Amino acid sequence: MSRSEELFSQAQHYIPGGVNSPVRAFRSVGGTPIFFEKAQGAYVWDADGKRYVDYVQSWGPMVLGHAHPEVINAVIETAKFGLSFGAPTERETTLAEKLCSLIPNMDMVRFVSSGTEATMSAIRLARAFTKRDKIVKFEGCYHGHSDSLLIKAGSGALTLGVPSSPGVPAVLAEHTITLDYNNIQQVRNYFSNHGNEIACIIVEPVVGNMNCVPPIPGFLECLREVCDQSGALLIFDEVMTGFRVGHKGAQAHYNIKADIITLGKVIGGGMPVGAFGGRRDVMQMIAPSGPVYQAGTLSGNPVAMAAGLKTLELLEQSDFYKNLSARTTQLVEGLQKLADEAGIPFTTNHVGSMFGFFFTSEKKITNFKQVMACDIPLFNKFFHGLLKRGVYLAPASYEAGFMSGAHTDEDIQNTLQAAKEVFAELIA
Ligand code: PLP
């Protein structure tokens, strides 16, 4: 029995499913989750001492790679002066100022402790600002686990959503409309009939939660347009894309203006941080400057702010994003070539340092239905083949992969060599 198997069996006695976030349990790919012990740069080591090249990067935050010495040092030095005060600190303003200077259309920002809190609060704010209850989201996008956002499209009429988890009141589903990502006509039709009932559209500008699916040309533009026409607010959930698709996020990458932007992951450098921000007139509705309640005991935590600040500072190195993007392209193009040579139906998507690959004969994946139709058993075999060879991918086919600044050319060549061997096994 491996140490990971032993630890997993112990964990299951005390923690539901043995994990503190479901995807970690390997249910989708089968087998036992790998328990990690340490991480450095592009690598993680498991409890048995085996090293893996990591393309999960803690689900996105570790854009510099794990345990960057300067980030770790910032955390240690800050922690010496206390872990939490529950009172304002200068660092919060410094990080807020930095975010407002980098992220377009962000005049003010409020810090929270997770992406879930950021999107939940952004929705409340949009509802208060517009005095409307209904929100629009898209199938395949994930915005954390607050009740209003755990609603999926029903199988029948478009407007009848259903809770995607027991415990979410069915009445909430009446207020969450789930449309198809990248379906411009459907958005236009829906808004032409119901636009004036909608408080906001929330969208992952590049979806990283149904593998990696970028917007088709015109989709984000259409969202902006229908929001302008109907008075709804446009929320870009950049918890994943922020400081991932580029230094200024998806708004700058696609040249689309959002009214509220949510952030998380990278801005905490691996510590628990989220944020939502946007137009001053909207943000000033938040308590205590306005009536919309929002709070947090650990919000703006000094250690988390220090990790975020140092991370953002290090991202300013020249050509950081250019190199990151080039490495991602090298990996996905390499995988595509190897799959083609092996005769395996395969296609890829990538934007900046987010990437995804699909076992499918479709040439391009642009929507949830196509993602659902991919060959999951083949992905699972590929996943385990790479895992055995020391490459750690997200343990589910519906998750994006992430490149970090610490991945080297050699890491990518080793990954491609491993992939070549696994593709050969898949066709044997
Ligand atoms: N929004 C997006 C786009 C995400 O990818 C996630 C998490 O993966 C969240 C929100 C929720 O963030 P958290 O897990 O920090 O609550």
3-state secondary structure of 105: coil
Whole-number pLDDT of residue 153: 80
Edge-to-edge order in the sheet of strand 401-402? 347-351, 354-358, 401-402
What's the 3-state SS for 5-58?
Answer: HHHHHHHHHHCHHHCCCHHHHCCCCCCCCCCEEEEEECEEEECCCCEEEECCHH
**For the purposes of burial, counting CB atoms within 10 Å of the CB of 261, is it exposed (0-12), middle (13-18) or buried (19 or more)?**
buried
One domain, residues 285 and 147: yes
| Nearest atom in ligand 1 to 114's CA | 15
Q: 340 and 193 in one domain?
A: no
Q: How far apart are CA 302 and CA 381, in angstroms?
A: 43
Q: Are residues 167 and 227 in the same domain?
A: yes
- Report the alpha-carbon distance of residue 206 to residue 215 in Å, rounded: 6
208 and 300 together in one domain:
yes
Nearest Cα to Cα of residue 294 among 279, 308, 277, 309: 277
**What's the pLDDT at 130?**
98
* Ligand 1 atom at minimal distance to the Cα of residue 144: 11
My answer on whether 127 and 255 are in the same domain is: yes
Contact 355, 328 (CB under 8 A): yes
**CATH number of the domain residue 394 falls in:** 3.90.1150.10
Boundary-marking domain end, from 314, 336, 355 = 314
Q: What are phi and psi of 195, to 5 degrees?
A: -50, -40
161 and 292 fall within a common domain: yes
Q: Tell me: do 24 and 93 sit in the same domain.
A: no
Q: State which of 288, 314, 340 marks the end of a domain.
A: 314
* H or E stretch at 140: none
Which pLDDT tens digit goes with each residue over 134-158?
999 999 999 999 999 999 887 655 5
Q: Residue 149 sits in a domain of what CATH number?
A: 3.40.640.10
318 Cβ partners below 8 Å, 6+ apart?
none
Phi, psi for residue 275 in degrees, rounded to 5: -160, 150
Domain hosting residue 372, numbered range: 3-63+318-427
Q: Is 387 exposed, middle or buried (0-12, 13-18, 19+ CB in 10 A)?
A: buried
Whether 247 contacts 315, CB under 8 Å: yes
Question: What's the structural domain count of the chain?
Answer: 2
Q: Against a cut of 0.80, is the pTM above it?
A: yes
Ligand 1 centroid to residue 142 C-alpha, Å: 7
Q: What is the DSSP string of 219-282?
A: HHHHHHHHHHHHTPEEEEE-TTTTTTSSTTHHHHHHT---SEEEE-GGGGBTBS-EEEEE-HHH
CA of 145 to the centre of ligand 1 (A): 8
Residue 419 Cα to ligand 1 midpoint, Å, equals 29
Q: Are residues 110 and 18 in the same domain?
A: no
Last residue of a domain, one of 289, 314, 339: 314
Question: Catalytic amino acids?
Answer: 142, 237, 265
pLDDT at 154: 72
Pocket of ligand 1 (CB under 6 A): 59, 114-116, 119, 142-144, 204, 208-209, 237, 239-240, 264, 274
Considering the domain architecture, whether residues 304 and 383 belong to the same structural domain is answered as no
Low-confidence ranges of the chain (pLDDT < 70): 155-160
Q: At 96, phi and psi to the nearest 5? A: -60, -45
Whole-number Å distance, alpha carbon 336 to ligand 1 midpoint, is 28
**Per-residue pLDDT tens digits for 46-74:** 999 999 999 999 999 999 999 999 999 99
Ligand 1 binding pocket mutation candidate from 142, 202, 236, 402 (most atoms within 8 A of CB): 142
- Considering the domain architecture, whether residues 89 and 222 belong to the same structural domain is answered as yes
Question: Whose Cα sits closest to atom 5 in ligand 1?
Answer: 240
Q: Clarify whether residues 85 and 182 are in a common domain.
A: yes
Q: How far apart are CA 78 and CA 180, in angstroms?
A: 45
Same domain, 308 and 327: no
Three-class SS state of 153: strand
297 C-alpha vs ligand 1 centroid, how far in Å? 20
